[in-house]
Chain A
Amino acid sequence: MSSNDLHGYKKTLSSPYSGVKGWIDSRLPLIRMMEAEYLKFPVPKSLNYFWSFGGIAMFCLIGLILSGIFLGMHYKPSAEDAFNSVERIMRDVQFGWLVRYLHMNLASFFFIAVYIHIFRALYFGSYKAPRELVFIFGMLMFLLMMGTAFLGYTLPWGQMSYWGATVITNLFSAIPVVGDAILLTLLGDFTVSDATVNRFYVLHWLLAFAIVGLVVFHVITLHMTGSNNPSGMEPQNWDETLSFHPYMTIKDTKAMVLFFIVVAFVLFFFPNIMGHSDNYIRANSMVTPAHIVPEWYFLPFYAILRAIPDKLGGVLAMFGSIAVLFILPWLDTSKVRSCLYRPIWRICVLLFALDFFILMYMGAKPASDIYVLISRIGTAYWFLFFLVLAPLVGYLETPRQPLTISNFLRDKKALT
């Protein structure tokens, strides 16, 4: 082979397929890719149902985008029309109530799926080398998700929309020197106003599609390393793996059917259970509701914000509580991934999950003395968990570890 040919640069036109499939695949190698990455993709055979929540989250996202497209055909993003156009969707647009309730509730269930997905990553150590970037892309999506949810919650222009938007955008005014300029740039007026709801509508769409883009990166990085599994060990040979299709496709389908039965139950019987009745009152810039609460999925972070008695300090703690997640892969010093083999860290992670729920409860309560005190303890544990326990426990504990996935499955069988 001479040094003058294009070997290595020129893509091969030959395809493993023939006919129309082969003609397309040799020009657009998507069929080849899908087969390698999904149909024949090897995953550890020890995966449990926690591993279905990534796929479930993706279907929530697809459902949100679909329902969003149809809502967008009727919604009017202005202070004058927004509230009435949502009411029109609920009353006059055929099946509008269904599409809107679907959009509303899927947002909540998207968070439920993602919180379980993140817990899975923490408990089984999926964030550790070589999967740091998978985790970081995941966290970026989580951030964008929170942004998208906040922007979307403003759009119906009810009382909670309006005052939630006021409180959250005012967080930026805590930033020294440039805070007020940032606030004006965000709002486009001196208060949450017509200009604000218009741009929030555009940004709501933009961030939603940014999440779709990040899903691609999340999956590419995941498929470079392959999935983690409950044992935390890497598969050593083909015998310790199963092909994604049909084994995982059928397992994930079962999990999804069960999950979406719950979604349907809430959607048809309790569509407003995760919302707030004050949001059915049109926005009034002169009256703040007596008790402002964010949507349930923001409550733990809201509790952290209120736990700090200083404006800037509270804002920093709230953003910091998410920032620490990004550096977790480097804070955790243990080489062992799975909590099943880390007796001390396992307790720390379970306490962290409990802490999350305690903070969630505190965030929904008024900011009075006893609740603030408990919020402070909860906030302290949140940061202790990441900044002290994660580095320290790795040194203190003696982990046990199965040598291979096969050993893990044999031990598990012996137990049951």
Chain B
Amino acid sequence: MSENNKPRRDFIKLASMTLGGVGAASLVVPFISTMQPGKDALALASTEIDLSPIPEGQSLTVIWRGKPVFIKHRMTDEIQSAKEINLDDLIDIQDDSARVLQDKWLVVLGVCTHLGCVPLGQKTTDNKGDFGGWFCPCHGSHYDTSGRIRKGPAPKNLEVPPYVFLTDNRIKIG
């Protein structure tokens, strides 16, 4: 091999290694894609719920996308306590009106935003935490009557799923 062939050799080496490398690396796309939720899981199932059997002060848990959804029929004092707080006291600042469509109905995902446990507070006998909403037994996060995080390690408020009122007593989640 003569000296002036060297740059050409280097180019061929580099080009073939690059092409081979990119080709092999592109296999990552299909492989990692198979690990994502499949089309069946992605299909956004929607759930319709009749609210009329839920008396004031009580809650219902329904399943949406495999996750529990809390539907709470709030009492007047619960609505009041959710509205009349100093927003600066909150960890994740959000007004109650931004979290509900109708004041007496609160709809949130029953999944603690810390590490995904289901908080207590749906049953009347449950520990509802220091703020009268929900209490996560795993690592001690307290949520208020608007599902907002008030105390503990969770960084965010309980998530509000997309939902609409079909009639006054019927909602559709998803």
Q: Is the CB of B117 within 8 A of A191?
A: no
CA distance A102 to B101 in the complex (A): 55
Interface digits, B73-117 against A, CB 8 Å rule (1 contact, 0 not)?
A: 000000000000000000000000000000000000000001111
Q: Is B139 interfacial (CB-CB < 8 Å)?
A: yes
Nearest CB of A to B103, in Å: 27
Given A167-B115, A287-B118: A188 touches B138 (CB 8 Å cut-off): no
Q: Is B38 interfacial (CB-CB < 8 Å)?
A: yes
- Contacting residues, chain A, for B118 (C-beta < 8 A): 286-288
Q: Is the CB of A290 within 8 A of B137?
A: yes
Size bracket of the A interface: 35 or more
Select one of A173, A184, A309, A310 contacting B36, CB under 8 A. Answer: A184
List the B residue with the shortest CB-CB distance to A314. Answer: B153
Q: Is the CB of B153 within 8 A of A288?
A: no
- Contacting residues, chain A, for B115 (C-beta < 8 A): 166-168, 170-171, 311
Q: Is the CB of B116 within 8 A of A185?
A: no
Q: Is B1 interfacial (CB-CB < 8 Å)?
A: no
CA distance A290 to B114 in the complex (A): 16
CA distance A407 to B96 in the complex (A): 76
Given A166-B117, A167-B116, A310-B153: A185 touches B32 (CB 8 Å cut-off): yes
Select one of A184, A285, A292 contacting B37, CB under 8 A. Answer: A184
Q: Is A376 interfacial (CB-CB < 8 Å)?
A: no
Q: Is B66 interfacial (CB-CB < 8 Å)?
A: yes
List the A residue with the shortest CB-CB distance to B113. Answer: A311
CA distance A171 to B116 in the complex (A): 9
- Contacting residues, chain B, for A3 (C-beta < 8 A): none
Given A171-B115, A309-B153: A188 touches B140 (CB 8 Å cut-off): no
List the B residue with the shortest CB-CB distance to A192. Answer: B116
CA distance A23 to B36 in the complex (A): 53
Interface digits, B124-141 against A, CB 8 Å rule (1 contact, 0 not)?
A: 000000000000111110
CA distance A191 to B155 in the complex (A): 19
Given A166-B116, A188-B35, A285-B68: A291 touches B61 (CB 8 Å cut-off): no
List the A residue with the shortest CB-CB distance to B119. Answer: A288
CA distance A168 to B114 in the complex (A): 11
Nearest CB of A to B140, in Å: 4
CA distance A185 to B138 in the complex (A): 24
- Contacting residues, chain B, for A187 (C-beta < 8 A): 37
Q: Is A278 interfacial (CB-CB < 8 Å)?
A: no
Q: Is the CB of B116 within 8 A of A190?
A: no
CA distance A187 to B38 in the complex (A): 11
List the A residue with the shortest CB-CB distance to B156. Answer: A311
Q: Is A189 interfacial (CB-CB < 8 Å)?
A: yes
Q: Is B63 interfacial (CB-CB < 8 Å)?
A: yes
- Contacting residues, chain A, for B114 (C-beta < 8 A): 170, 311
Nearest CB of A to B159, in Å: 12
Q: Is A193 interfacial (CB-CB < 8 Å)?
A: yes
List the B residue with the shortest CB-CB distance to A369. Answer: B140
Q: Is the CB of A367 within 8 A of B140?
A: yes
List the A residue with the shortest CB-CB distance to B68. Answer: A286
Interface residues of A in 167-186 (CB under 8 A from B): 167-171, 173, 184-186
Instruction: Give 16 A-B contacts (CB < 8 Å), ordered by A residue.
Output: A163-B117, A166-B115, A167-B138, A170-B115, A185-B32, A189-B37, A189-B66, A190-B37, A190-B41, A285-B66, A285-B67, A286-B68, A290-B120, A309-B153, A311-B115, A312-B155
Nearest 3 CB-CB pairings of A with B: A170-B116, A170-B115, A288-B117
- 18 further A-B contacts with Cβ under 8 Å, apart from A166-B117, A191-B66, are A163-B138, A173-B116, A184-B36, A185-B32, A188-B35, A188-B37, A188-B41, A189-B41, A191-B67, A199-B35, A285-B67, A286-B118, A288-B136, A289-B137, A290-B137, A310-B155, A311-B153, A311-B154
